[in-house]
Chains A and B, each alone.
Chain A
Amino acid sequence: MKKKILFFVLMGLFILSSVVVAQDVIKIGVFEPMTGPFAVGGELSMQGYRLAQMQNPTVLGKKIELVVVDNKSDKVEAANAVSRLVNHNDVVAILGSYSSGLTIPGAEVANKAKVPMVVATATNPLVTMGKEYIYRACFIDPFQGSALAKYTYNNLGIKKAAMLVDVAQDYSVGLANFYNRTYKELGGEIVSNLKYQTGDQDFSAQMTQITSTDAGALFFPGYFGDVALIATQGRELGFKGVYMGGDTLDNPKLLEIAGEHAEGVVATTFYHPDAPAATEASQIFIDEFIKEYDEEPNAVSVMTYDAYNLLISAIEKAGSTDADAIKDALASTEDFVGAGGTITIDDMGNAIRPAVVIKVVNGEFVYEATIQP
Chain B
Amino acid sequence: MSKTKKQLLTTGALILLGICILWAQSNFNNYTLRILNLSAIYAILGVSLNLIFGFTGQFSLGHAGFMAIGAYTTSLLIIPKYYKEMTFLIEPLIWPFSVLQLPFIVALLLGGLFAAIFAIIIGLPVLRLRGDYLGIATLGFAEIIRVIANNIPQITNGALGLKGIPAYTNLWWTLGFTVFTIFVIKRLIASSYGRALMAIRENEIAAEAIGVSLTYHKVMSFTVSAFFAGIGGGLLASLLTTIDPRAFMFVMTFNILIVVVIGGLGSITGTVIAAFLFNFMLEYLRPIEQGFDLGFISFPEIPGLRMVTFSLALLVVIIYNQNGLMGKLEFTWQGLFDFIDRIKNPKNSDEKGVS
* Contacts from A to B (Cβ < 8 Å): 2-3, 6, 10, 13-14, 16-21, 34-35, 39, 42, 67-70, 72, 74-76, 79-80, 83-84, 86-88, 101, 104-105, 108-109, 112-113, 124, 126, 129, 166-170, 172-174, 177, 195, 197
Complex contact B31–A69 (CB within 8 A): no
Complex contact B38–A76 (CB within 8 A): yes
How many Å from the CB of A115 to the closest CB on chain B? 11
How many Å from the CB of B35 to the closest CB on chain A? 7
7 contacts between A and B (CB under 8 A): A2-B320, A17-B292, A83-B31, A83-B34, A87-B32, A168-B159, A169-B159
Decide if B163 is an interface residue (CB 8 Å cutoff).
yes
Q: Which of B129-137, B243-251, B269-277, B323-331 contacts A (4 or more CB under 8 A)?
A: B243-251
Decide if B232 is an interface residue (CB 8 Å cutoff).
no
Q: How far is the CA of A291 from the CA of B306 in the complex (A)?
A: 32
Q: How far is the CA of A369 from the CA of B244 in the complex (A)?
A: 35
Q: How far is the CA of A69 from the CA of B289 in the complex (A)?
A: 8
- Looking at the complex, which one of B89, B150, B241 makes contact with A105 (CB distance below 8 Å)? B241
Complex contact A167–B31 (CB within 8 A): no
Decide if B161 is an interface residue (CB 8 Å cutoff).
yes
Give the residues from 165 to 195 in chain B that come closer than 8 angstroms, CB to CB, to chain A. 167
Complex contact A84–B283 (CB within 8 A): yes
Complex contact B161–A67 (CB within 8 A): no
Question: Which chain A residues border B150 with CB–CB below 8 Å?
Answer: 167-168, 197
Question: Which chain B residues border A42 with CB–CB below 8 Å?
Answer: 303
Complex contact A75–B242 (CB within 8 A): yes
Max chain B Cβ within 10 angstroms of own Cβ: one of A105, A124, A168, A195: A168
How many Å from the CB of A204 to the closest CB on chain B? 20
- Looking at the complex, which one of B151, B243, B304 makes contact with A35 (CB distance below 8 Å)? B304
Complex contact A104–B242 (CB within 8 A): yes
Q: How far is the CA of A80 from the CA of B29 in the complex (A)?
A: 13
Complex contact A35–B246 (CB within 8 A): no
Give the residues from 224 to 248 in chain B that come closer than 8 angstroms, CB to CB, to chain A. 236, 239-247
Question: Which chain B residues border A68 with CB–CB below 8 Å?
Answer: 290, 301
Question: Which chain B residues border A10 with CB–CB below 8 Å?
Answer: 313
Q: How far is the CA of A339 from the CA of B247 in the complex (A)?
A: 35
Complex contact B38–A170 (CB within 8 A): no
Contacts A68-B301, A75-B240, A173-B153 aside, 12 further interface pairs with beta carbons under 8 A come to A14-B284, A17-B292, A21-B293, A72-B307, A87-B31, A104-B163, A112-B30, A166-B159, A168-B150, A168-B159, A173-B90, A197-B147
- Looking at the complex, which one of B87, B90, B294, B306 makes contact with A16 (CB distance below 8 Å)? B294
Decide if B207 is an interface residue (CB 8 Å cutoff).
no
Q: How far is the CA of A228 from the CA of B289 in the complex (A)?
A: 34
Complex contact B247–A75 (CB within 8 A): yes
Question: Which chain A residues border B86 with CB–CB below 8 Å?
Answer: 126, 129
Question: Which chain A residues border B30 with CB–CB below 8 Å?
Answer: 83, 86-87, 109, 112-113
Question: Which chain A residues border B314 with CB–CB below 8 Å?
Answer: none
Question: Which chain B residues border A172 with CB–CB below 8 Å?
Answer: 159
Q: Write out, one digit per residue, whether chain B residues 23-34 have a CB within 8 A of any chain A CB (1) or not (0).
A: 000000111101
Query: Top 9 closest A-B pairs, CB basis?
Result: A34-B303, A87-B31, A87-B29, A35-B304, A17-B287, A83-B31, A170-B160, A17-B292, A170-B159
Q: How far is the CA of A10 from the CA of B241 in the complex (A)?
A: 35
Question: Which chain A residues border B158 with CB–CB below 8 Å?
Answer: 167, 170, 173
Decide if B288 is an interface residue (CB 8 Å cutoff).
yes
Decide if B286 is an interface residue (CB 8 Å cutoff).
yes
Q: How far is the CA of A6 from the CA of B321 in the complex (A)?
A: 15
- Looking at the complex, which one of A21, A35, A86, A108 makes contact with B303 (CB distance below 8 Å)? A35
Complex contact A70–B303 (CB within 8 A): yes
Question: Which chain B residues border A39 with CB–CB below 8 Å?
Answer: 303
Question: Which chain A residues border B288 with CB–CB below 8 Å?
Answer: 13, 17
Decide if B316 is an interface residue (CB 8 Å cutoff).
yes
Question: Which chain B residues border A83 with CB–CB below 8 Å?
Answer: 30-31, 34
Question: Which chain A residues border B290 with CB–CB below 8 Å?
Answer: 67-69
Max chain A Cβ within 10 angstroms of own Cβ: one of B159, B313, B316: B159
Question: Which chain B residues border A2 with CB–CB below 8 Å?
Answer: 320
Complex contact B283–A34 (CB within 8 A): no
Question: Which chain B residues border A108 with CB–CB below 8 Å?
Answer: 167, 241-242
How many Å from the CB of B310 to the closest CB on chain A? 11
- Looking at the complex, which one of A16, A69, A104, A126 makes contact with B292 (CB distance below 8 Å)? A16
- Looking at the complex, which one of B87, B151, B287, B292 makes contact with A167 (CB distance below 8 Å)? B151
Complex contact A70–B247 (CB within 8 A): no
Question: Which chain B residues border A87 with CB–CB below 8 Å?
Answer: 29-32
Complex contact B304–A70 (CB within 8 A): yes
